[in-house]
Chains A and B, each alone.
Chain A
Amino acid sequence: MIADVYIYLKEGVADPEGEATKKALRLLGFKNVKKVSSRKVFRIEVDARNREEAEREISGMCEKLLANPVIQKYTIQWVE
């Protein structure tokens, strides 16, 4: 099974990468840009009997390494 795991900042946590990107886009003339926020995506392929089991496994990965729970959250999107 393959999942895209999105890691992003919790609401209220400053996102300097997103802010700087927005500033640069506006400088390039994209005046309609309202907000840019950064995301990090890991595509993970796991062996699992079913989706539930795979989701448990990936949640464990997020809690142990991929996300810092103080500032980040994660969502899982299934690719196949």
Chain B
Amino acid sequence: MQKEDLKIAVIRIEGTNCEEETVMAFRNLGVFSEAVHLKQFYSDMIRDSEQRSLTDYNCIVFPGGFSAGDYVRAGAVFSARIKSVLRDDLRDFINSGYPVLGICNGFQILAELGALPGFDEDKPVGKQEMALGINDSNRFECRPSLLKHENRGKCVFTKALEKEIVMFPVAHAEGKVIFPAGKEEDYIDRLRKNDQIVFRYVDAGGNYAGYPWNPNGSIYNIAGLCNVRGNVLGLMPHPERVFFDYYRKNEIGDGRTIFESVIEYLLSL
């Protein structure tokens, strides 16, 4: 695939609010990207020129924000709407090996869709097997977080990531990774064995640590994980907010590699 053929959709609905910077991250790397409203995929009230299909794209992103006001649970309404109108298309998209990224609210959406942890390769969208619960602090946690990259090469979004520890900021109230009671150890074992753990919260010395380094109380300090195939990644911290490194006046931020990696992967298809 050629770089000029790549098309990346960032899917928005009412209440998403990180689509602009996510689109810009891809555009800054010279790739076509656009924010697309979910309605553009199914509504017949949309002008012909604005109608879209998932097959128009090589990669889709569910951005951060407060989709549908976070009513019911964060991501629940967005995911219910996807299930009702795009479920089969999304399943085919993931089964074809195309990458899907969920950042923050996007991760909550992928969890609600059952796309993550995504143990079953044949059912990339299914019933919920994890939850992103309310932070242990019961607060909205908004600040830099340090993440240890632990993926051994499966995740298509971090293949090019050389740094062991990166700084992506977090900004969420519901980000605590919870697995079904009694199955926690089994899930973590499977995630490790399958190389599905991508990022874990650490302290400044690179050690797994509790609050405030782990901002939400996530089990096993999990900040981001991918499906068994490695083409669906969900993470609570925001790589698009550190595309540039504002703090050290260095041009390249830690988040940039996430976008570079997936472009590299798409070019290899």
Q: Which residues of A contact B (CB under 8 A)?
A: 10, 12-14, 16-17, 19-20, 64-66, 68-71
A70 touches B130 (CB 8 A): yes
Which residues of A have CB within 8 Å of B130?
70
Sample of 6 A–B contacts (CB below 8 Å): A10-B181, A12-B181, A16-B138, A65-B76, A68-B73, A70-B128
Which residues of B have CB within 8 Å of A64?
80, 83
State the CA gap A66–B130 with chains docked (Å).
15
Query: B112: CB under 8 A from chain A?
Result: yes
Query: B178: CB under 8 A from chain A?
Result: yes
State the CA gap A13–B136 with chains docked (Å).
11
Q: Which residues of B contact A (CB under 8 A)?
A: 72-73, 76-77, 80, 83, 112, 127-131, 133-138, 176, 178-181, 217
Q: Which residue of A lies closest to B127 (CB)?
A: A69
A68 touches B138 (CB 8 A): no
State the CA gap A70–B194 with chains docked (Å).
21
**Secondary structure type dominating chain B contacts:** loop
Which residues of A have CB within 8 Å of B134?
16-17
Partner of A16, one of B77, B127, B136: B136
A13 touches B128 (CB 8 A): no
B217 touches A68 (CB 8 A): no
A16 touches B180 (CB 8 A): no
Which residues of A have CB within 8 Å of B128?
68-70
Which residues of B have CB within 8 Å of A70?
128-131, 178-180
A14 touches B217 (CB 8 A): yes
A65 touches B72 (CB 8 A): yes
Partner of A13, one of B77, B83, B129, B181: B181
Instruction: Identify which of B130, B133, B181 gathers the most chain A CB atoms within 10 Å of its CB.
Output: B133
B80 touches A16 (CB 8 A): no
State the CA gap A10–B73 with chains docked (Å).
15
Instruction: Identify which of A17, A19, A65, A66 gathers the most chain B CB atoms within 10 Å of its CB.
Output: A65
Q: Which residue of A lies closest to B138 (CB)?
A: A16
Given A14-B217, A65-B80, A70-B178, is A19 in contact with B138 using a C-beta cutoff of 8 Å? yes
Partner of B76, one of A16, A20, A68, A71: A68
State the CA gap A57–B87 with chains docked (Å).
21
Q: How far is the CB of B77 from chain A (nearest CB, A)?
A: 8
Which residues of B have CB within 8 Å of A19?
138
State the CA gap A71–B137 with chains docked (Å).
18
